[in-house]
């Protein structure tokens, strides 16, 4: 029902270096049609494994901060259960740390951990009017709610353009995703979608909403209402939403956050986007990472990006963001001017050259050079090297620092179903002020992954 913006489909951020890459201009081989399930999507099984490590050096007087971990990722999507119309979705990560820093932000005392992201039995085929999900699930068309251990039950209209239903269950812990019985959620949701033909000239629209209640780990019982909507046409999209919460002792609901996003899609040589975000005071008092005290007062944030293609081989882009913290009044502005040469090396890829500046409570000047392409066969490479200087106006917040860093991502197909990935990064502090004299040392990270899909 919900239509994802094409830009969002390629701007994918994933753990363990699963990135997005441009599609090469290659020939398209004819394919033989194979009947699938009602919605045209068959079951998929993905298995991945690998190891990663970080030297954790930085300076010679560091007490340690390196790590070495091994992991296995597994995922099953839409596996049909017998001859029924039920499907199984399962996703997990098994992780073991061979070495961990003494001061860890998450699960500081753990050496082995199993993260279960999803374990759901569902009925959501295109022809099904009554839909449901049971288990550890990611509720669909329920904005602002991530995974729960429980039940979602809904009903669609005949065309599939409207759905309404109920959800209930408990939320697992942030640390380890351990099931709980005390942190419950309950509520109702509704969704509408109207996709107009491209030649009609009318915009398409979709909206999702929910109202409910929950018990936060430290914030007690809360009431919530959230709305998410989107309009889109042939060359533009406009979306936004917000969430209001209230506790039993609140005189009136408080706006926890609101956001607005406008995008001019990639049509022609000019495009751009803009996003505004408001974070209000939160009614939740949930614990954060170890030894950290996140700000609960919120702030104002804005970001924009625009690009202009000067020719088929060169273009310019301007990116920026502004931020203001409500509690302290601190402000900052970031800007990046980028020269894009995506076809500099013909079919082998291109370069991106950029200069970046930050003003406000933190001042920074920097530049980077980036390569993206396929220099040898089908292997795809993404590499970046950056240098910057940073100065802070807040005492004891950050040390003044000059640094060089970079990262490398290699993705290569071994067979049609098996891929190999390598990711690495480094950090080299050159000069540090505001601390006792330390000798900078190179820090580096390396990870190797293998992924098979069936």
Does a structural domain hold residue 249? no
Q: Which residues are paired to 340 by β-bridges? A: 315, 352
Instruction: Check residue 64 and give its pLDDT.
Output: 60
Does residue 435 belong to any structural domain of this protein? yes
**Least confident residue range of 23-32, 60-69, 108-117, 233-242:** 23-32
Looking at per-residue confidence, does 207 or 400 come out higher?
207
d(CA 120, CA 131): 13
What pLDDT score was predicted for residue 73?
96
176: confidence class by pLDDT, cuts 50, 70, 90: confident
Question: Which residue has tokens 């882009």?
Answer: 317
Domain carrying residue 105: 44-121+406-454
More confident residue, 285 or 324: 324
Q: What percent of the chain has pLDDT over 70?
A: 81
In a domain, 101, yes or no: yes
Residue at 113 is within a domain:
yes
Pick from 325, 333, 253, 259: nearest CA to 296: 325
Any domain includes 175:
no
The count of structural domains within the chain is 1
* Residue 381: inside a domain: no
pLDDT for position 35? 42
pTM equals 0.81
Q: Can you tell me the distance from the alpha carbon of 234 to that of 423, in angstroms, rounded to the nearest whole number?
A: 37
Q: How far apart are CA 410 and CA 382, in angstroms?
A: 7
């Amino acid at each position: 029902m919900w239509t994802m913006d094409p830009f969002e489909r390629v701007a994918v951020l994933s753990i363990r270096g699963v990135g997005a890459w441009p599609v090469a201009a290659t020939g398209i081989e004819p394919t033989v049609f194979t009947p699938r399930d009602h919605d045209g999507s068959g079951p998929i099984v993905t298995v991945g494994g690998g190891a990663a490590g970080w030297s954790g050096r930085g300076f010679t007087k560091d007490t340690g901060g390196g790590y070495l971990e091994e992991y296995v990722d597994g995922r099953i999507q839409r596996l049909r259960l017998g001859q029924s119309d039920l499907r199984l979705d399962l996703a997990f990560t098994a992780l073991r740390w061979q070495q961990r820093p003494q001061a860890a932000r998450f699960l500081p005392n753990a050496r082995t951990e199993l993260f279960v992201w999803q374990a759901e039995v569902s009925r959501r085929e295109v022809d099904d009017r009554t839909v449901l999900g049971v288990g550890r699930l990611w509720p669909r068309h329920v904005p602002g709610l991530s995974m729960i251990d429980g039940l979602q039950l809904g009903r669609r209209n005949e065309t599939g353009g409207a759905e309404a239903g109920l959800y209930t269950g408990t939320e697992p812990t942030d640390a380890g995703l351990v099931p709980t019985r005390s942190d419950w959620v309950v509520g109702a949701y509704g969704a509408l979608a109207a996709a107009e033909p491209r030649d009609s000239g009318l915009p398409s629209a979709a909206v999702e909403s929910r109202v409910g209640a929950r018990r936060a780990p430290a914030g007690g019982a809360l009431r919530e209402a959230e709305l998410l909507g989107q309009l889109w046409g042939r060359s533009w999209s406009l979306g936004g939403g917000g969430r209001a919460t209230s506790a039993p002792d609140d005189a009136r609901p408080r706006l926890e956050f609101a956001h607005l996003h406008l995008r001019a899609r990639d049509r022609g040589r000019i495009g751009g986007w803009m996003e505004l975000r408001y974070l209000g005071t939160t009614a939740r008092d949930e614990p954060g990472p170890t030894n950290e005290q996140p700000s609960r007062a919120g702030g104002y944030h804005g970001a924009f990006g625009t690009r202009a293609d000067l020719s088929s081989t060169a273009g310019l882009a301007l990116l920026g963001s502004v931020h203001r913290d409500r509690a302290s009044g601190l402000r900052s502005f970031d800007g990046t001017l980028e020269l894009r040469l995506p076809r500099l090396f013909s079919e082998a890829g291109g370069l991106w050259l950029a200069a970046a500046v930050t003003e406000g409570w933190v001042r920074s000047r920097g530049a980077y050079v980036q390569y993206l392409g396929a220099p040898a066969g089908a292997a795809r490479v993404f590499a970046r090297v950056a240098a910057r200087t940073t100065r802070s106006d807040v005492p004891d917040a950050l040390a003044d620092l000059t640094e060089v860093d970079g990262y490398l991502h290699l993705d290569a197909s071994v067979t049609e179903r098996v891929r190999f990935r390598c990711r690495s990064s480094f950090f080299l502090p050159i000069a540090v002020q505001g601390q006792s004299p330390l000798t900078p040392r190179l820090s580096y990270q390396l990870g190797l992954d293998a992924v098979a899909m069936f």
